[in-house]
C-alpha cells in the first residue's frame, strides 16, 4: 500500500510506496528541501531526519548542496538550475513562498508563489499501491496580467540521493540500428548531461538513468533510477557535487530553447519518474516493467499479437497482389496481424517522393485499400498499415501546396535528411490536417493497427510566423500525443506501434498511447541480443517488437539458423519480417511450429517477470520469465568455444520448496536445485545454438 503523510510541526511530507519512502520538508525560508529517498520510514523517523540546514562552510559555498526538490536560480545557489526564468524587467530566479498543499489519495500537490513576481509553482507527486515508482512533475502559472515570463529551463523535478562513497551511472547509448547499448560507468564529480537535441527521444540516448554505489549486482543492491515520460528533446543532468552528494534534475527541452509563459497561462511539464529498490538492476527492471504494464500502457492486460511486416520483404515495391500473396503465407504460419509497410501511397516508389500524399497509389491499388484489407480480414488476421504523418518529401503535392508547413528559418537552407522535411505539428492547421486524414484512413478502411514512423531529427527548427517559435519543441510532441489520443478514443480497437527509424521514439510518454515499439531496424539476431538487453533494462518485453528476417542479415551480412532467429525474437513481441515467398516448405514448417510455441509462452514472456540470467557479451546468454506457475527460459549461444560448458544456468526467483516440471521432457526438479545448479538448456552443438525451456510449478 502507498500513503502520503504530513507533519505540520516540521512541515515534512512522507510518501510511502510498497517498499520505499520519500520525504521532503520546507526550510525556514520555504525552500522545498529533500529529506530522504530509500528504505521505508515512519513519519516520526522522517521528522527526525528533517534537520535544519547546516550553516555555510565558507563564503564560497552554496546555501544547498543540491538537496532541494526543484533547483531554482537565486541567492547562493551555484548548481544546475532546473527552473530558470527571466521576467520582463530583466530580473530572474525564484524566491519561494509556500502557499498550500493538498493530499488526494496517492497525489500530493505543494504550491508556492514567487515572493515578488507573478509566478505560481506547484510541485506534484504521485505514488501507487502496486509500484515503487514515484511520479513527479510541476505546473507553472503566470498569475499576472502583463508581460510574458521567459522559461529558460523548466524541469519536472529534482531527485537527490544519499551521500555515498562512490556513485556509478547506468544508461543506454547508441545510434540508428544499434540502439540501447548498456553502459555502466563511475560517475565523476561534476555535471554529467544525458540529452537529445533532436526533437525526438533519439537513438543516441534514452531518457533514463540508474544510479548505484558501484556495488549493486543484477540480483541485489540499492539502485535509484529516473525516467522521463517525453518524446521530444530532453535533458537529464546528474550532478555529483564536490560536497559528496548526487542529484538529478531533468525534463523536456534542451540548452538554448526558451519558452514564453503568457499572462494567465498554465504550463505543465512531463512526468519524471523515480524508483528506489534494494533488488539490484534486475529488480529495478522488474519494477519498471510492472509500472509500465500497470500504469503506463493504454491496453494493459492485453498480450500482443504476432505480426507480419512487409518492409524487409518488399521495400517500396508494394502492390495489392504482392501483399495479398504475403498475407496468405503469413496466415498459414499463424500470424495474427498483417502490416503493410512504406510504399503504398501517393508517388512513393523510393524514399525521395510522395511523403505527405496519403492516398493509395492508384497504379498499385486501383480499387483502393479495401480489397486487400478484406482479404487480410478474410484470412483471419487484423490489418495494419505504415504511416509517417510528421514528414513530407519536397517532391510531393503537399509540399508544393504548403511549403510553409515545415520547420524552417528565413534565409537558411532547409536541410533534407532521408530526402524529407519535418512538418510543424505545433501549427494547429497542420495538426488538424494530419488528424483528419489519419482518422479517415482508419475509419474508411477498418484499419486495426498503425505503425507510426518518424524518420529524421529536427533541423532549422524555426516557425517564422510565431512570436514564441521555440514552443514548437514542446507543442509538436503534444500534437502527436493528442492525435494519437483522439484516434484511440474514436477507434477503441485501434492499436499503434511507435517507430522512429527503429527505436528512436521509445519512452514512457509515447508508451502511454502506443502498444509496442519497433525496437531497431537492425534485425541481425546477434546484434539484437545486445539491443534487447539494453531495451529491457527499463521497458518490458510486452512492448518490444522483434521480427524474424531473412539471411543474410541486412546490416551485418550474418546468416543464422531460423530457429536461432526465432528464439531471439521470441524474447519480445514476436513478428516475422522475412520474404515468405522465398521460404521453403521446411522453413515454413519450422516457423509454424515456433509460432505455435510462442503462442503458448507469450503471456509468460510479455506479462511475466523478467530475470536476466547472463549478459549478451557472455558465452551463453539467457532470459527467464516467470508468471504464476509458468517459467520460460530462452537461451542463446551465438558461438561455441571448446572447453566451456554451457548446458546449465541457475534460475532465479523460484520457490525453492516447489517442484517444477519440464514441459518437453517431463523431468521434475526442486526449485532449490534449479536455483543452484540450474536447468539443462539442451543447447545443440555448434554455433548459433538456442533453446526454449518451459517449466511449470506443480
Binding residues vs ligand DGJ (CB under 6 A): 311, 341-342, 386, 453, 455, 499, 501-502, 518, 521
Comparing CB distances to ligand DGJ, the nearer of 282 and 343 is 343
Assigned C-alpha cell, 364? 498499385
Q: Which is nearer to ligand DGJ, 281 or 311 (CB)?
A: 311
Nearer to ligand DGJ, 69 or 341 (CB): 341
Active site annotation includes 524: no
Q: Which of 521, 524, 527, 550 is catalytic?
A: 521
Grid coordinates representing 239? 550532478
Residue 577: CB minimum distance to ligand DGJ, A: 8
Residue nearest to ligand DGJ (CB): 342
Is 342 or 550 the residue whose CB approaches ligand DGJ more closely?
Answer: 342
Q: Number of H helices and number of E strands within the chain?
A: 13, 39
192 bridge partner residues: 238
Cα–Cα nearest to 485, from 528, 534, 452? 452
- Measured from the CB atom, the residue of 181 and 466 that comes closer to ligand DGJ is 181
Candidate list 65, 453, 515, 527, residue with the active-site label:
453
Set of cell numbers at residue 626: 516467470
Calculate the alpha carbon distances from 462 to 172, 209, 473, 640, 677 in Å. 30, 31, 10, 54, 61
Q: How far is the CB of 314 from ligand DGJ (least distance, A)?
A: 11
Min. distance of Cβ 581 from ligand DGJ in angstroms? 19
Instruction: Say if residues 307 and 337 touch (Cβ distance below 8 Å).
Output: yes
DSSP letter string, 57-78: SSTTS-SSSS-BSS-BSSSS--
Give the closest residue to 274 by CA, choosing from 126, 163, 169.
126
Query: DSSP 3-state helix, strand, coil percentages of the chain (rounded to 5)?
Result: 20, 35, 45
CB of 386 vs ligand DGJ, minimal distance in Å: 5
CB of 518 to ligand DGJ, least distance (A): 5
68 DSSP β-pair partners: 33
Beta-bridged to residue 546, according to DSSP, are 574
Q: Is 515 a catalytic residue?
A: no
From the CB of 528, what's the least distance to ligand DGJ, in Å? 14
The sign one gets for the Cα dihedral 170, 132, 135, 200 is positive
Q: What is the DSSP letter of 161?
A: E
**What is d(CA 328, CA 269) in angstroms, rounded to the nearest whole number?**
47
d(CA 676, CA 569): 28
The residue (of 342 and 395) whose beta carbon lies closer to ligand DGJ is 342
Grid coordinates representing 333 are 504460419
- Shortest reach from residue 557's CB to ligand DGJ, in Å: 19
Nearer to ligand DGJ by Cβ, of 575 and 616: the residue is 575
Catalytic residue ranges: 453, 521
Amino acid at each position: 500500500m502507498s500513503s502520503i503523510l504530513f507533519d505540520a510541526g516540521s512541515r515534512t511530507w512522507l510518501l510511502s510506496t510498497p517498499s520505499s519512502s520519500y520525504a521532503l520538508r520546507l526550510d525556514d525560508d520555504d525552500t522545498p528541501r529533500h529529506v530522504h529517498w530509500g528504505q521505508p520510514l515512519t513519519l516520526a523517523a522522517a521528522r527526525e531526519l528533517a534537520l535544519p540546514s547546516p550553516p555555510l562552510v565558507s563564503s564560497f559555498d552554496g546555501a544547498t548542496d543540491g538537496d532541494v526538490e526543484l533547483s531554482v536560480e537565486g541567492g547562493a545557489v551555484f548548481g544546475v538550475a532546473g527552473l530558470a526564468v527571466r521576467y520582463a524587467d530583466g530580473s530572474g530566479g525564484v524566491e519561494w513562498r509556500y502557499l498550500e498543499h493538498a493530499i488526494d489519495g496517492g497525489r500530493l500537490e505543494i504550491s508556492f508563489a514567487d515572493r515578488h513576481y507573478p509566478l505560481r509553482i506547484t510541485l506534484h507527486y504521485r505514488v501507487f499501491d502496486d509500484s515503487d515508482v514515484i511520479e513527479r512533475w510541476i505546473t507553472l502559472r503566470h498569475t499576472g496580467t502583463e508581460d510574458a515570463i521567459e522559461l529558460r529551463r523548466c524541469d519536472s523535478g529534482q531527485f537527490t540521493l544519499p551521500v555515498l562513497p562512490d556513485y556509478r551511472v547506468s544508461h543506454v547509448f547508441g545510434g540508428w540500428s544499434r540502439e540501447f547499448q548498456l553502459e555502466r560507468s563511475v560517475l565523476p564529480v561534476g555535471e554529467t548531461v544525458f540529452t537529445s537535441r533532436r526533437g525526438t527521444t533519439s537513438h543516441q540516448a534514452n531518457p533514463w538513468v540508474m544510479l548505484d554505489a558501484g556495488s549493486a549486482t543484477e540480483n541485489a543492491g540499492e539502485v535509484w533510477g529516473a525516467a522521463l515520460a517525453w518524446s521530444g528533446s530532453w535533458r537529464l543532468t546528474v550532478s555529483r557535487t564536490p560536497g559528496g552528494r548526487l542529484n538529478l534534475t531533468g525534463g523536456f527541452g534542451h540548452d538554448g530553447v526558451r519558452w514564453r509563459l503568457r499572462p494567465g497561462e498554465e504550463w505543465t511539464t512531463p512526468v519524471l519518474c523515480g524508483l528506489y529498490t534494494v533488488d539490484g538492476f534486475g529488480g529495478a527492471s522488474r519494477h519498471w516493467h510492472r509500472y509500465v504494464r500497470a500504469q503506463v500502457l493504454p491496453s494493459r492486460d492485453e498480450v500482443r499479437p504476432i505480426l507480419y511486416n512487409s518492409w524487409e520483404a518488399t521495400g517500396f515495391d508494394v502492390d495489392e497482389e504482392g501483399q495479398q500473396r504475403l498475407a496468405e503465407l503469413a496466415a498459414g504460419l499463424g500470424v495474427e496481424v498483417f502490416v503493410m509497410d512504406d510504399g503504398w501511397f501517393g508517388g512513393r516508389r523510393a524514399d525521395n517522393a510522395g511523403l505527405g500524399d496519403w492516398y493509395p497509389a492508384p497504379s498499385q491499388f486501383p480499387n483502393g485499400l479495401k480489397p486487400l484489407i478484406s482479404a487480410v480480414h478474410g484470412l483471419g488476421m487484423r490489418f495494419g498499415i505504415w504511416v509517417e504523418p510528421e514528414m513530407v518529401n519536397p517532391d510531393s503535392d503537399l509540399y508544393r501546396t504548403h511549403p510553409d508547413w515545415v520547420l524552417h528559418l528565413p534565409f537558411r537552407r532547409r536541410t533534407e535528411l532521408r530526402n524529407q522535411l519535418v512538418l510543424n505539428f505545433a501549427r494547429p492547421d497542420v495538426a488538424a490536417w494530419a488528424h483528419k486524414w489519419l482518422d479517415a484512413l482508419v475509419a474508411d478502411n477498418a484499419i486495426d493497427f498503425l505503425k507510426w514512423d518518424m524518420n529524421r531529427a529536427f533541423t532549422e527548427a524555426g516557425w517564422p510566423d510565431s512570436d514564441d517559435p521555440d514552443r514548437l519543441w514542446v507543442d509538436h510532441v503534444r500534437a502527436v500525443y493528442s492525435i494519437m489520443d483522439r484516434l484511440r478514443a474514436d477507434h477503441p480497437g485501434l492499436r499503434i506501434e511507435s517507430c522512429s527509424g527503429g527505436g528512436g521514439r521509445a519512452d514512457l510518454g509515447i508508451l502511454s498511447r502506443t502498444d509496442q515499439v519497433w525496437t531497431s531496424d537492425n534485425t541481425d539476431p546477434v546484434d539484437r541480443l545486445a539491443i534487447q538487453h539494453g531495451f529491457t533494462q527499463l521497458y518490458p518485453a510486452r512492448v518490444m517488437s522483434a521480427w524474424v528476417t531473412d539471411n543474410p542479415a541486412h546490416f551485418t551480412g550474418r546468416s543464422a539458423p531460423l530457429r536461432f532467429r526465432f528464439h531471439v525474437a521470441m524474447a519480445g513481441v514476436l513478428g516475422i519480417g522475412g520474404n515468405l515467398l522465398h521460404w521453403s516448405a521446411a522453413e515454413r514448417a519450422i516457423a509454424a511450429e515456433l509460432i505455435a510455441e510462442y503462442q503458448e509462452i507469450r503471456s509468460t514472456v510479455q506479462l511475466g517477470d523478467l530475470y536476466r540470467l547472463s549478459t549478451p557479451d557472455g558465452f551463453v546468454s539467457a532470459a527467464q520469465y516467470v508468471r504464476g506457475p509458468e517459467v520460460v527460459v530462452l537461451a542463446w549461444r551465438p558461438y561455441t568455444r571448446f572447453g566451456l560448458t554451457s548446458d546449465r544456468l541457475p534460475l532465479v526467483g523460484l520457490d525453492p520448496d516447489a517442484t517444477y516440471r519440464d514441459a518437453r521432457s517431463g523431468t521434475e526438479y526442486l526449485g532449490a536445485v534449479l536455483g543452484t545448479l540450474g536447468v539443462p538448456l539442451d543447447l545443440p552443438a555448434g554455433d548459433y545454438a538456442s533453446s526454449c525451456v518451459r517449466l511449470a510449478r506443480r
